[in-house]
A and B are shown apart, each in its own frame.
Chain A
Amino acid sequence: MELSLGTPAMLFPAIALLLLAYTNRFLALAGLIRSLKTQYVESPNPNLIGQIQNIRKRIMQVRNMQACGIMAFLLCVVSMWLVYISQELLAEYIFGFSLFLLMMSLYISFREIQISVHALEIELSDLEELMKGK
């Protein structure tokens, strides 16, 4: 299908907002891991180690999501520029690659969501026993 100058530009707001969501998640996780570390130094609890490991893994995933998202954004801009200088075929390839990176980013995000509640689950695991006792 024909690529017009506006086509890659339509990805801009989406990717920018997506990056905002990723940044929020990253900040929340970074803050949490710091407070858990402080808690662990005060009282070594095996529950905390499990949570910290989970969060570390997720921070790496969020970082990769961000990296893929930013590259997708960059290639999108490059593609727009190529359309502007009438290099249609090259622009289509770059745009396709940009979409592919966006897919990757979203797929990693999906994986991250699947393990996301696990840390909270560990935190609340002794609550479960308390509930059973009642």
Chain B
Amino acid sequence: MAISLTTPMLLFPATSLILLAYTAKLAYLSNLARTLYKQYTILENEGLLIQIRNLRKRIYFIKNMQAFGSLSFCFCTISVFMLLNNWMIAGEVFLGLSSVLLVIALYLSFMEVVLSAEALKIVVKDVCD
């Protein structure tokens, strides 16, 4: 299939919205980790420790999601640049790489969502006990 100059640009708004969502998530989680850590130094509660461990794992996921997302965006831009210079094959290769990176970022995001309910389960379990 032949791609035109505007084909990689279709990915732009999507990628930047995803990055926005990831940034908000990271800011929220790192805040939460700090608060829980402060609580832990006062209360020394085992449940808090498990929650913090869970949060840390998720923060690492989000960090990688952001890294893959921004690289994907970067490759997308390079692809447009290549197409502008009429280097069609290079443009296609970069677009391909960019979409692979985006897929990885989204897969990590899925893994993170799976993990995310765990921390809440711990809180609820505490209350139930």
A residues apposed to B, CB below 8 Å:
1-3, 6-7, 10-11, 13-15, 17-18, 20-21, 24-25, 28, 92, 95-96, 99-100, 102-103, 106-107, 109-110, 113-114, 116-117, 120, 123-124, 127, 130-131
Q: Is the pair B59, A114 in contact by a Cβ cutoff of 8 Å?
A: no
Please provide the chain B residues from 79 to 120 with a CB less than 8 Å away from any CB of chain A in the complex: 80-81, 83-86
Q: Which chain B residues border A11 with CB–CB below 8 Å?
A: 9, 12
From residue B77, how far is it (CB to closest CB) to chain A in Å?
5
Q: Of A3, A14, A20, A124, which one neighbours B56 at CB under 8 angstroms?
A: A124
Please provide the chain B residues from 49 to 83 with a CB less than 8 Å away from any CB of chain A in the complex: 49, 52-53, 56, 59-60, 63, 66-67, 70-71, 73-74, 77-78, 80-81, 83
| CB nearest to A8 among chain B residues | B9
Tally of chain B residues near chain A (CB < 8 A): 41
Q: Is the pair A20, B84 in contact by a Cβ cutoff of 8 Å?
A: no
| CB nearest to B73 among chain A residues | A106
Task: State in angstroms the CA–CA spacing of A92 and B74 once bound together.
Answer: 19
Contacts A11-B9, A124-B33 given; does A96 touch B84 at CB 8 Å: yes
- Classify the interface of chain B: helix, strand, loop or mixed: helix
From residue A6, how far is it (CB to closest CB) to chain B in Å?
8
Q: Of A20, A100, A113, which one neighbours B63 at CB under 8 angstroms?
A: A113
A-B pairs with beta carbons under 8 Å apart, 16 shown = A13-B13, A14-B9, A14-B12, A14-B15, A17-B16, A21-B23, A24-B24, A103-B77, A106-B74, A113-B63, A116-B26, A117-B30, A120-B30, A120-B59, A123-B34, A124-B52
Contacts A18-B16, A21-B23, A124-B56 given; does A113 touch B70 at CB 8 Å: yes
Task: State in angstroms the CA–CA spacing of A55 and B23 once bound together.
Answer: 16
